Every structure is written in C-alpha cells, then in structure tokens.
Amino acid sequence: MKETYRFQHKHILGIEQLSVADILHILDTAISFKEISNRSIKKVPTLKGKTIINFFFEPSTRTRLSFEIAAKRMSADTFGITAATSSAKKGETLIDTACNLQAMNPDLIIIRHGSSGAPGLLTRHIDASIINAGDGTHQHPSQALLDMMTIREHKGSIDGLKIALIGDIAHSRVAHSNILGFTKMGADVKVAGPATFMIPHLDLLGARVCSTVEEAIADADVVMALRIQKERQNDPLIPSLREYARFYGINRSRLKHAKPDALIMHPGPINRGVEMDPDVADGKGSVILEQVTNGVAVRMALLYLVLGQEGGRAE
Ligand code: CP
C-alpha cells in the first residue's frame, strides 16, 4: 500500500532537517501559491486568525518583507519588531524576549539573528513554530528553497546540474544552506573564492573546492555569486575589493566558461562591480529578481505547511 506523504515539521531551522520529499513538496506548494501574487486581489483566507511575528535582529530587505507579504497574502495577522526597537536594546535576553512574545500567544515567530543557533535555542523555550530567517553564519533555509524553486522553474530539475558558488563561502549562511540543498537534490556543487573565505571539510557538505573561479564555473548550469559578509569579519580577509573583483568577480569574460544558457544568481544584496559586474547582474541569464519573486511564494508555502494547514501536522 502506498504511504501518503505528510509534511511533519513544526519548525524550519536548516536544510538538513528536510528530506528530498519535503523539499519537493515545499517547492510544489510554492508553485501552486505563486499565481496568487499575480491576481488583482492578492489575498486568500488560508491563514486567517493566525498570528505571525517577524523578529529581525539584523537588517533585511528581501527576507523580512517577503515573509510579511507572504503572511498578509494568506490573511494572517503579522507584527514586526527589530532589535533596535525592542527591549533587547535595554538588555533583555533573547530567551526572555521570546518568552514574552510567547505570552502573547503567536502561532509562528520568524527570526533573523546574528548568532548561529539562536532560532534552534528558541524552539526549546517557546511553543510557537519558529522559522529561521538567517542565523549568523549557520543557515538561511528559506533562501535555499527559493533558489531551488528558481532553478527548477528554468531547468526542470536540480538533479544532475552543475552549480558553482563563488565568493565568501565561510561567512555565508546562504552558501551553507544551498550546498546542503543542492547536493541533497542531486547537483554537482563546486565552490571557489579566496582561501580566507573557505572552511575546512567543505567536501563533507558535498561541495568540491576549486582553486580558480574558471575551474568552478566550467560547464556550469548555474553560477551563483555570494556577497562578502563584512559584518561577520573582524579583520579584513582580502587585500582589496579591486583585487577581489579581478580574481573572483563574475564578469562576462569568466562566464564564457559556463554553459551558454547558465543561470546567473545572487541572493542579494549585490555589491555591483565587486562580486558581480552590473552587466552580468542585469543581463542575459540573470534570474536575480525572479529569486526575489519566488521568495514570496516559497515563504507562503512554508507558513502554510509549518502551521499545519495542509491537514494536521503530527506534533
Ligand atoms: N537574501 C537576503 O537574505 O536578503 P536580505 O538580507 O535583504 O533579507
């Protein structure tokens, strides 16, 4: 007898917790929700009566707004606080703040925090569902899912693709989630960047470290550049941005090594002229703004599934 699939996750903390079936289900759900954003009235009643708090301790444009738009398009009540406008500024601990949020009985808290593991810590102290919207250098699972959705829309499947990630792998939570996700879905992942931007044992995550960008992007189906995460570096790890752009920047000349129909991706925000030339970011093959559009659909799917709206999640 065929077993029926059920999404079982109360929290989304990292890509490693998701099976291939979970990822495909999230992406299929996101595709089914995507057209809601193209309607003249962009609202469905699916999450009516649910309370969602966006708690962002670090700056964000895309993630915060797309979670908020996703929640509002599904009729949830959403509330946002930042570290700067919360009592964290007066010395309240993260756990105390979270327990006080819990006392107001939200269904879901979406958190971005500078410390790796902060969302996981909260799951041990409060009852609401938690979605990790980026924690330190650890993970950014919803970004990896929207990246997978974008690739799948263009290439049909992630299985068997050659994907190159270029830049600051060590400090990029996007890189860590994407390496886990892409390899889980059957892609061949290569990375390149300055040695100071690499971490030991990337092979254990499933990625191959290349000594040049050209080697990493040779015959690639997807080329993703990553921002230098200056906010997570105590001392400069590269001699200069100009030198970085010369050796590691994605430009038209370097892209000749990739497949002619390679997708050009970047999680944003872009440092134009550093990790990617403007004519690449805005030119042929770039799906950077499609990634942002898909961010709303993926986050609608995550809210829907995590809140158990599909038919009851096992606790
Ligand atoms: N990609 C991403 O996380 O962007 P924001 O920092 O603007 O949310």
Residue 7 belongs to a domain: no
Tell whether 50 and 182 lie within a shared domain.
no
What pLDDT does 116 receive? 97
Active site residues: 62-63, 90, 112, 140
CB 274 within 8 A of CB 247: no
Q: What is the pTM of this model?
A: 0.95
Residue 2 belongs to a domain: no
Tell whether 150 and 276 lie within a shared domain.
yes
Atom 4 of ligand 1, nearest CA residue: 62
Taking the CA of residue 112 as reference, the ligand 1 atom at the shortest distance is 8
Tell whether 260 and 131 lie within a shared domain.
no
Residue 56 belongs to a domain: yes
- Tens-place pLDDT, residues 270-308: 999 999 999 999 999 999 999 999 999 999 999 999 998
Residue 6 belongs to a domain: no
Residue 10 belongs to a domain: no
Tell whether 29 and 132 lie within a shared domain.
yes
Low-confidence residues in the chain, pLDDT < 50? 314-315
Taking the CA of residue 66 as reference, the ligand 1 atom at the shortest distance is 8
Tell whether 228 and 301 lie within a shared domain.
no
- Residues with CB under 6 Å of ligand 1 are 60-64, 134, 140, 143, 267-269
Tell whether 129 and 153 lie within a shared domain.
no
Tell whether 223 and 211 lie within a shared domain.
yes
Tell whether 106 and 45 lie within a shared domain.
yes
What pLDDT does 315 receive? 47
Atom 5 of ligand 1, nearest CA residue: 60
| Domain enclosing residue 29, as ranges | 15-139+293-306
Residue 42 belongs to a domain: yes
Residue 173 belongs to a domain: yes
Tell whether 116 and 195 lie within a shared domain.
no
What separation in Å is there between the alpha carbon of 208 and the centre of ligand 1?
26
Residue 9 belongs to a domain: no
Tell whether 245 and 272 lie within a shared domain.
yes
How many domains is the chain partitioned into structurally? 2
- For residue 33, which amino acid is it? F
Q: What is the CATH number of the domain that holds 277?
A: 3.40.50.1370
Tell whether 281 and 170 lie within a shared domain.
yes
What pLDDT does 288 receive? 98
What pLDDT does 125 receive? 95
Tell whether 34 and 164 lie within a shared domain.
no
